[in-house]
Amino acid sequence: MRGFSYNRDMSEEVIIVKGPTALQGSVRVSGAKNSALKLMAAALLGQGASTIRNVPLISDIDIMGEVLQRLGASVVRDGHDLLVDTAPVDSCETPYELVTKMRASISVLGPLIGRFGEARVAMPGGCQIGARKIDMHLVGLEALGVKFSVDHGVLVATTPEGLRGTQVTLEFPSVGATENMLMAAVVAEGETLIENAACEPEIIDLANMLNAMGAQVSGAGTPNIGVQGVPLSDLHPCAHTTVGDRIEAGTFLTGGALTGGPVRVEGIDPSFLRMAIMKLQQMGCTVSTGEDWVSVERDPEVPLSCTDIQTLPHPGFPTDLQAQFMLLASLAEGISVITENVFENRFMFASELMRMGADITLDDHHALVRGVEGLQGAPVSSTDLRAGAALVLAGLVAEGETRVHHLEHIDRGYEDYAGKLASLGAAVVRVPA
Ligand code: EPZ
């Protein structure tokens, strides 16, 4: 795909952080990875050239671009804009080698079924943070009339009687299942009601793009989403701007809270971060907000206060900020209990942080974090996207040098992470390993 280069072997580079170092200043967040990927998939329903703006320069986007190209689409990146022309799409098959590169490829399932009435998508595997099952995707789509079979690891979807509107209650407010159901229900015959739907801001962003394409979705952002199906021929391409990335914003705000700040993140709707803001305030930070920015600061002479955190579906505390807040808690006065309710294996970051001197006891999905005086720089390895980002932040406050390896994880979801931290004053460089 023109303008992309995800083949670059980033694992041969390291980020070196010299601590302690303070972060101060403003940084603009990129568009939300967890929205842009689905907006690209939704473009399949537009059957023409859609423009998606504010798309981050990250490797997951490159891979989704290749998924769409493999289907026959043309995807051209122009800076932070993507021109996605799906008129030429003539296949409904997404191969194993792309799905294994990025689980989110499963997001083409719903729109392919909506567009062609069938799909063949390789079953996604698990990843470091959990099994990442798709049973709820299948149950929801089956309720719309989809029949599934598995052919040697490939999920085969057909709609012998077409897509019919239905009422489905999701067992868990799964983001991916809600999105796949939405992208099929918009062209189902009749009305669909999705109960216990995911309420993440990225769901609202997707619904807004689908409606701009001619769909009729209501209630996105609430647990009850209504869809009035329209004929596929009613859907058309559109131009849509991706919302700011609330997890990237929360990551930089954590950096400001760690080092004192003030750090201001721009290009983000503060309402996306209410729970994270509340937790920063509970830990002793001063947070101010504006229409599209959030700022955090703290007196570095006053230790952070401990707090308990339960990760939950939105508007609960986001699991994608759990590692970042575990780092904050490891330097807070007292004991914090962090409970990970969303993924079954998302505490691997703790073991790397303990190598820097943190004091954490893990017990199933609870982490008991005892605050320590300080951390020591060390060579560490990213285990997943958010853990990697948090390890770089740990290097900001640790004494000495921290070398973070396996940057391919960070590059999946953070555009120019080292550069943005350096623009805030961090002594951070990215160099060949
Ligand atoms: C999305 O994953 C995000 N990824 C994740 O961000 C995020 O952590 C997650 O939502 C929760 O907010 C993208 O949007 C690409 P889920 P998704 O379906 O859709 C289980 C990051 O770091 N489940 O809400 O996969 C599942 O295993 C990533 O940016 C089933 O059991 O999340 C998980 O334990 C990490 N069966 C939980 O539900 C299903 O059919 C939440 O999954 C679906 C999900």
285 tagged catalytic:
no
Q: Model pTM?
A: 0.97
Closest CA to 180 of 119, 91, 244, 101: 119
Calculate mean pLDDT across residues 238-253: 98
The label of the residue with tokens 């001063």 reads 286
The label of the residue with tokens 């083409």 reads 108
Q: What is the pLDDT of residues 142-153, one digit of tens each?
A: 999 999 999 999
pLDDT at 7 over 50: no
Residue nearest to atom 13 of ligand 1 (CA): 34
Q: What is the pLDDT of residues 35-44, one digit of tens each?
A: 999 999 999 9
pLDDT at 125 over 90: no
pLDDT at 49 over 50: yes
Calculate mean pLDDT across residues 303-329: 98
Instruction: Decide: helix, strand or coil at residue 372.
Output: coil
Ligand 1 and 130: CB distance under 6 A? yes
Calculate mean pLDDT across residues 106-116: 98
Inter-CA distances, 206 with 17, 60, 274, Å: 37, 17, 21
Positions of E strands within 92-199? 93-94, 118-122, 147-151, 154-158, 167-169, 191-195
Q: What's the token pair of residue 241?
A: 């701007």
> How far apart are the C-alpha atoms of 119 and 158, rounded to whole Å?
7
Calculate mean pLDDT across residues 314-335: 98
Ligand 1 and 131: CB distance under 6 A? yes
CB distance 53 to 242 below 8 Å: yes
Phi, psi of 2 (to 5 degrees): -65, 140
pLDDT at 368 over 50: yes
Check residue 389 and give its pLDDT. Answer: 98
177 Cα to the center of ligand 1, angstroms: 9
Task: Provide the b/e sequence for 245-260 (b: ≥16 CB within 10 Å).
Answer: bbbbbbbbbbbbbbbb
413 Cα to the center of ligand 1, angstroms: 15
Catalytic residue of the set 127, 199, 238, 285: 127
CB distance 369 to 354 below 8 Å: no
CB distance 18 to 84 below 8 Å: no
Ligand 1 and 172: CB distance under 6 A? yes
Calculate mean pLDDT across residues 117-127: 90
Q: What is the pLDDT of residues 377-390, one digit of tens each?
A: 999 999 999 999 99
Residue nearest to atom 16 of ligand 1 (CA): 174
Ligand 1 and 178: CB distance under 6 A? no
Ligand 1 and 250: CB distance under 6 A? no
> How far apart are the C-alpha atoms of 86 and 50, rounded to whole Å?
8
